[in-house]
Amino acid sequence: MANTLHFSSTLQAAASPVFSKRTNIMHCKSLRVQTGNHSSVASCLAQSRSNRVLKVSCEAASVDVLEMSITNNQAEKQLTCVMKFGGSSLASAERMREVAELILSFPNESPVIVLSAMGKTTNKLLLAGEKAVSCGVTNVDSIEELSFIKELHLRTAKELEVDESVIAKHLDELEQLLNGIAMMKELTPRTKDYLVSFGECMSTRIFAAYMNKIGAKARQYDAFEIGFITTDDFTNADILEATYPAVAQSLHGDWSRDPAIPIVTGFLGKGWRSCAITTLGRGGSDLTATTIGKALGLREIQVWKDVDGVLTCDPNIYPHAEPVPYLTFDEAAELAYFGAQVLHPQSMRPAREADIPVRVKNSYNSNAPGTLITRARDMRKAVLTSIVLKRNVTMLDIVSTRMLGQYGFLAKVFSIFEDLGISVDVVATSEVSISLTLDPSKLWCRELIQQELDHVVEELEKIAVVNLLQHRSIISLIGNVQRSSLILEKVFNVLRVKGINVQMISQGASKVNISLIVNDDEAEQCVRSLHAAFFESASLN
């Protein structure tokens, strides 16, 4: 809330037009002086933070009564919310301008801003790195993606009229790094993280400089310098508990000493052992935002995307998917975990722990209400909320070779996965058989390669007959599992009409998700038909 202080006083007719006042204000944004019918803007001569004495000059020295109101939009205010803008909201200078305008259109908020890299910069950096491995040192400067990244960032700085020097050092370092990769002919996960970090480091520097240029005092932060402490799992690191107090101390400390809108790099952290830059997995800026929300105990976490909120299904599969107005943290987490690109799979955790609402909004359409994610919602009318598709999943059918009634079979199977460090998604069991799915994309850097799969099968074959089925998809139905009979009745109706065979089904312990496994090549059609049945046909609802 803008903090307006009114006070009046009398100036001597012949006195110097300088007025001193002890106030509780730390940073004065604007001054208005009222003398009789005249109102004018006065300027602030000096502010002492230690004893909070404000000195102002005005042209009203010749009148007796002087009334001043001091509008101070930052001082004594607490940070109120996080606003995260993803690459899709920051693709160009024009978009950065609009985002800045959007932020400033909430004068009652004191936000922490979290930014991703501009547009598709992360993908381009990774491609540049891969090319550098094989192109030879002399050819690094002709890597197309490097030229693209340089051109995009320099053009953006120029169009926003901010000094190119804010990113010059990073562009030089990026080229040096690619030269190093070309020399070594290898791109390790650790180097990958350092490489992609340039995207967020540059977008935040350009944006902070622009905010300052337009008069909104802002301060840039690299997350790895302000306490984002993570595991050393490069490319997919986890935030450690120590992050919360460290981030709170950094951001709160600076804010109370000298308020300025914090502009923080999303996606990045610092490995606690290696002290090297880590990343939180693709789309990890959502997690940066919720982590800051929890660290500072903020009122709300906003993630601004290029869609009107979380939708009833992926708009790339069905363009007329509808926004979902309300979700619980559990529903959103399940949706993200099972492949909806709109939210990072781990991002709901800090928000749920701190019970801070998350709002998913559209930066291209700020009037749309978006999706509000909270701990609980009214489920009385809820049936199905959203349909999520995860492609290219590997499925294993494992049948015990032992007699019925043998114990320890499940334990043995899962210990094999544990030993091999492979995570399992969906599971359906009977006493002597297990069907389960393995997610190749869960570990961004470490796709499950054939060799690993062969090894899994080899180990399992010591105790079971194993059938490995690839190119499967998981269709997750997120909704009110209390009404699973109604949901399943409709689902099987659709599947029967479309002639689609479900190879596995799991309702598990989750109270919000029913998963179906079908062939990859039938999956999209299946999602569209299910969407039509649940969201478009009144008779089927």
Ligand X SMILES: Nc1ncnc2c1ncn2[C@@H]1O[C@H](COP(=O)(O)OP(=O)(O)O)[C@@H](O)[C@H]1O
Ligand Y SMILES: N[C@@H](CC(=O)OP(=O)(O)O)C(=O)O
- The residue ranges that bind ligand Y (CB under 6 A) are 86-87, 116-117, 122, 199, 266-267, 282-285
- Cβ 342 to ligand Y shortest distance, Å: 9
Q: Which is nearer to ligand Y, 35 or 290 (CB)?
A: 290
Using CB under 6 A as the criterion, what x/- string covers residues 373-392 for binding ligand X? Answer: -------------x------
Q: How far apart are CA 417 and CA 438, in angstroms?
A: 10
DSSP state of 483: G
Q: Which is nearer to ligand Y, 328 or 363 (CB)?
A: 363
- Cβ 372 to ligand X shortest distance, Å: 14
Q: Which is nearer to ligand X, 311 or 398 (CB)?
A: 311
Token pair of 298 as six digits: 């903020």
In whole angstroms, what separates CA 352 from the centre of its chain? 15
Q: Which is nearer to ligand Y, 87 or 227 (CB)?
A: 87
Pairing of strands 424-429, 358-362: unpaired
Q: Which does 329 bind (CB under 5 to 8 A by kind): ligand Y, ligand X, none?
A: none
Number of residues that bind ligand X (CB under 6 A): 19
Pairing of strands 371-374, 358-362: antiparallel
Q: Which is nearer to ligand Y, 199 or 227 (CB)?
A: 199
Of 213-221, 310-318, 424-432, 457-465, the segment contacting ligand X by CB under 6 A is 310-318
- Cβ 324 to ligand X shortest distance, Å: 8
Q: Which is nearer to ligand X, 281 or 283 (CB)?
A: 283
- Cβ 342 to ligand X shortest distance, Å: 4
Start-to-end CA span in the chain (Å): 44
Binding ligand X (rule: CB under 6 A), the pick from 307, 373, 491, 518 is 307
Q: Which is nearer to ligand Y, 282 or 442 (CB)?
A: 282
Q: Are 273 and 229 in contact (CB under 8 A)?
A: no
Q: Which does 386 bind (CB under 5 to 8 A by kind): ligand X, ligand Y, none?
A: ligand X
- Find where tokens 């596995």 sit: 504
Cα dist from 496 to 6, 63, 368, 502, 527, whole Å = 72, 87, 37, 10, 14
- Cβ 206 to ligand Y shortest distance, Å: 15
Among 310, 215, 233, 243, which residue's Cα sits nearest to residue 277?
A: 233
The footprint of ligand X on residues 406-445 (CB under 6 A) is none
Binding ligand X (rule: CB under 6 A), the pick from 27, 95, 294, 305 is 305
Q: Which does 20 bind (CB under 5 to 8 A by kind): ligand Y, ligand X, none?
A: none
The footprint of ligand X on residues 270-289 (CB under 6 A) is 283
Token pair of 115 as six digits: 């930014």
- Cβ 327 to ligand X shortest distance, Å: 10
Token pair of 125 as six digits: 């950096």
The footprint of ligand X on residues 82-141 (CB under 6 A) is 86-89, 116
Q: How far apart are CA 104 and CA 74, in angstroms?
A: 12
Cα dist from 156 to 25, 225, 363, 367, whole Å = 36, 25, 19, 26
**How many Cβ atoms are within 10 Å of 527's Cβ, its own excluded?**
21
Q: Which does 117 bind (CB under 5 to 8 A by kind): ligand X, ligand Y, none?
A: ligand Y
Q: How far apart are CA 395 and CA 506, in angstroms?
A: 13
Q: Are 520 and 392 in contact (CB under 8 A)?
A: yes
Point out which residues pair with 428 in neighbouring strands. 435
Q: Which is nearer to ligand X, 388 or 434 (CB)?
A: 388
- Cβ 304 to ligand X shortest distance, Å: 7
| CA quadruple 323, 328, 331, 336: dihedral sign | positive
| CA quadruple 233, 284, 171, 216: dihedral sign | negative
The footprint of ligand X on residues 321-350 (CB under 6 A) is 340-342
Token pair of 431 as six digits: 């006493």
Token pair of 524 as six digits: 């999209």
Q: Which is nearer to ligand Y, 199 or 293 (CB)?
A: 199
Q: Which residues bind ligand X (CB under 6 A)?
A: 86-89, 116, 283, 305-307, 310-311, 313-316, 340-342, 386
